[in-house]
Amino acid sequence: MQIRHESSRKEVAQMSTEELRENFLIETLFTPNQIQWVYSHYDRVLSGGAMPVEATLTLETNDALKANYFLERRELGIINVGGKGSISADGESFELDKLGCLYLGKGTQVVTFSSQSAENPARFFLLSSPAHHTYPNQAFTKEEAFPVSLGMLETSNQRTIYKYIHEGGLQSCQLVMGLTVLQPGSVWNTMPAHTHDRRMEAYCYFDIPENHGVLHLMGEPTQTRHLWVANHQAIISPPWSIHSGCGTSSYSFIWGMAGENKDFTDMDLLAIPSLR
């Protein structure tokens, strides 16, 4: 488990490319037969990845959590971006196809991850936040997430949004989680940009074609910075930062939030001409 502390607005404005990447980019999410974690002090959110290939992986606690088991005081959202996989939670089994989601509530003690095929292993993106109440463990398929089509090809942002963990879907203490699939010919996400000072956000980019990338925009609206992101990499976004991107091809990304509220529409919108 890697631990990352907060960076102030002034610090970020003066960071080099290397410093930005060290603080906000998660370069390695999926390692065969391992669970990777990055602990962020922004709302104490954990972002990670589990990639079981030949082995079944067990969700272990970490000394940094000071907990008897991982979900003793936490909740966990999981979205599969790989081959078909299975998750066992206190003896109950959940099968997840690609783009399937599972919520695990506070108090779940024994969690394991496995793949149906070693040739096409599951890749489970993990997002965890502190929890004060126990909500039931529940899975959603992408069809149950009531996908919504938005945007236009003329503005290069024709996309389908899947909402999984939110007020109208899977219930949680503070996690909000879903994903966006950009249609062929569309490359922009979250533009016009916004901030939401009440919540941090994490992006996990996937289905980026080989030899392509996404230019992720972050920072204060008048002090924007950028990071080049590859397939199966993630971004930690501070509450005061914009979070947007433009790819050299169409792609998909998971978005997850935690903080003050679960209101998906809680955004401070920014006009494009105001960005610097």
> Rounded mean pLDDT of 178-182?
98
Residues with Cβ within 8 Å of 191's Cβ and at least 6 positions away in sequence, in order, are 157, 244, 246, 272
What does the block give as tokens for 140? 């959603």
Q: What DSSP designation does 62 have? A: -
Q: Mapped to the 3 state alphabet, what secondary structure does 249-275 carry?
A: CCCEEEEEEEECCCCCCCCEECCHHHC
> Rounded mean pLDDT of 56-68?
97
> Rounded mean pLDDT of 123-131?
98
pLDDT of residue 205: 98
pLDDT of residue 99: 98
pTM for the model: 0.97
Q: pLDDT band for 146, please (50, 70, 90 cuts).
A: confident
Does residue 33 carry a pLDDT above 90? Answer: yes
Rounded distance between C-alpha atoms, residue 167 and residue 75, angstroms: 15
Domain count, the chain: 1
Q: For residue 177, give the H/E element and its range.
A: strand 176-182
Whole-number percent of the chain with pLDDT over 70: 100
DSSP string of 66-102, one letter each residue: T-SSTTSSEEEEEEE-SS-EEEEETTEEEEE-TT-EE
Task: Identify the domain containing residue 17 by its residue range.
Answer: 2-274
pLDDT of residue 91: 96
Rounded distance between C-alpha atoms, residue 40 and residue 46, angstroms: 6
Alpha carbon 273 to chain centroid, angstroms: 28
Instruction: Provide the b/e sequence for 173-182 (b: ≥16 CB within 10 Å).
Output: bbbbbbbbbb
Q: Which residue has the tokens 């997850």?
A: 256
What does the block give as tokens for 269? 């919108």
CATH code: domain of residue 89:
2.60.120.10
Q: pLDDT band for 11, please (50, 70, 90 cuts).
A: very high
pLDDT of residue 265: 87
Rounded distance between C-alpha atoms, residue 273 and residue 8, angstroms: 25
Neighbours of 254 (CB within 10 A): 24
Does residue 240 carry a pLDDT above 90? Answer: yes
Residues with Cβ within 8 Å of 242's Cβ and at least 6 positions away in sequence, in order, are 190, 193, 194, 195, 217, 218, 219, 220, 221, 224, 270, 275
